[in-house]
Each structure stands twice: as C-alpha cells, then as structure tokens.
Structure 1
Amino acid sequence: MRIGVTGHVRLAEGTAELVYAELSATLAVREGPLHGVTCLADGADQLFARAVAALGGTFEVVLPAADYRGEVDDLQAFDDLLGKAVRVDYLPYPRSGPDAYFAASEELLRRVDHLVAVWDGAPSDVVSSTANVVRAARARGLPVTVIWPAGARRA
C-alpha cells in the first residue's frame, strides 16, 4: 500500500509530538510493506517521513519546485530526510508557490492508494491548503484518514 500525506506546516509547540505519536500508531496498523509519498514540507510531511522510516518503511518525495529547499525552516532535518528517500522527483516549476505546491499534491495523489491528512478540519479557499488537498483526494475516491490529536494546535 502506498500512503501519502498532506497536513499543516505550522504546528504549535507540543503539537509535533502529539501528531508524530498518532501518525506512528496509524501507520503501524497496516498489512504488508509500508511505502509513503510526501512533499517533505515542514510540519506534518516531515513528521510522516520520520514515522515511516522509524517503522521500517520506505518513502519517496515529490518536490514542487527547483528552489523548494530554500523554503524549508530546518535544512538539516530536510536534507537528512531527503537523503533517506528511495526516490526524489522535482516538478518543473522554477519557483515555489501555491500553484507549485498544489501540483505537487496532485502528483502525490496520483501515486497513492490512501491519504493521511494531518488536518484540524478547518475549510480553506487557498489552492494549496490541506483542506483543498483532502477535497481533491475525496473527489478521486481515495480513502482519507484525518489525524488531529486532542490538544493539537496550529501555530
């Protein structure tokens, strides 16, 4: 099974630990090998990649643009996870932005059988938002598991 992730980038203090624990528990309950697909954004995406690796799974990365590395907050964490990926693909956008981010999410949705969304459930009209990616996944008929642990907050 190929599992993708979408989720909030900015998590409040203490929320990353809650999300990581719930991601790990959710991913541990599966049949067969674990393979993840992520855009490796800050927040939920990187927590997902760490959880997949910790559970002995593999993951691939879809990066939205050539300049994406410059958009992340923690270059060391990003580079470490990128180095663990079994596959890394860059979309043909020269610059990061909402259109590139959503295109990367669309490519992720094409590659997966299931989507995990680290999402507080709030609606959004922003094209690259978690809400919009969840909406696109559901429109494709992909199963979506929403994770938002008690006590979790966005920054």
Structure 2
Amino acid sequence: MRRLAITGHRGLSEALERDVDSGLREHLSGLAPRLTGLSCLADGADALFARAVLDAGGALEAVVPAERYRDGLPAWHRAAYDALLSEAVLVHRLPHVESTSRAHMDAGRYLVEHCDELVAVWDGRPPRGPGGTADIVDYARSLNRPVTVVWPEGAAR
C-alpha cells in the first residue's frame, strides 16, 4: 500500500483549482487501488487531493489538527469537509483544542511522518506564516521524504 500525504495552498481561484485538480489526478493515476491518501481536508489542495484519492478508488485517512479545526474552515467548505471526513477509513485526531499555526504544523509533521511521499500543491514561495506549505515541504525534505510538487506552470496565487 502506497501512502501519499498532501500539503498545499488554500484560497485558490476556480481556474487554478481546475488545473491543480487535473495535476493531482494525473499524479494519482495508476496508483489506486493500492493507495492511501492522508489529508487534513481543508479547502483548496487538501480537499481536491482527498476527492481525487477517493475517485481513484484509494482509501482516505483524515488528520484533524485540533478539536475546533472545523470551526476555523470557511463556512462554505464545511459541508464538503464533513462529507470527506465521513468517507475516511481512519481519522487521526491530534491533541490540540484550538486551530492554531502550531496545531497546523503538528498536523503537517504527522502527515510527513506517516507517508511514503508528500504531494505539495505549492507555488515554491517562502512561507506566509508558521505551519504553512513551505514549512511542511522543508520538513519532509529534512527527513529525505520524497516530495512531488504539483503546480501549474506560470500560475500565481
């Protein structure tokens, strides 16, 4: 069973989401059904990856960074989050209460430590704050974990 985890940007435009979705699905093609995807299920890259894993016939494991994580997600995304969470074969809940950058960093580290490959929907830019995509990519690379970057050429956030 191959275990892939996702880290990536949120707040993508519709056009960028379509391109990222296509790139993720291309990367996952041929890996299922012997594929397990790990995701925090946030809007953007996390949810796109989770849906692509499930559509490919893979298994989904959810990582919930904090007890109040769902409350910090955009209201428009909560139904999608709930649906994806209900399809997870396993839910890993970290011991944080508040959905802080520390909780997000711990979740990112958990993802990296429990996968064979990290998939990063990342524009290659430095982090905007602690616990973001660039930090998780750096952590994966520090552990010599393979990182595959999915980012459309010429795209900008």
Supply the RMSD in Å over aligned alpha carbons.
1.4
Tell me, yes or no, if the aligned pair for 1:12 and 1:153 is still in contact at 8 Å: no
Larger relative CO (CA 8 A, sep 6+): 1 or 2? 1
Separation of aligned partners in 2, 1:151 and 1:58? 32
Amino-acid identity (%): 44
What SS class does the counterpart of residue 14 from structure 1 fall into? helix
The number of residues matched between the two structures is 154
Instruction: Show the counterpart of 2:144.
Output: 141
Mapped pair 1:126 → 2:126 = no
Give how far 1:32 is off: 6.3
What SS class does the counterpart of residue 106 from structure 1 fall into? helix
Q: Partner amino acid for 1:40?
A: L
Note the residue ranges of structure 2 that are not aligned, 5 or more in a row. Answer: none
Separation of aligned partners in 2, 1:3 and 1:146? 12
TM value normalised by structure 2: 0.93
Change (3 A) 1:15 1:55: same
Give matches, 1:4-23, under 5 Å: 4-23=5-24
Give how far 1:151 is off: 5.1
Runs of 4+ in 1 over 6 A off after TM superposition: none
Mapped pair 1:50 → 2:38 = no
Give how far 1:13 is off: 2.9
TM value normalised by structure 1: 0.94
Give matches, 1:96-115, under 5 Å: 96-115=99-118
Give how far 1:89 is off: 1.6
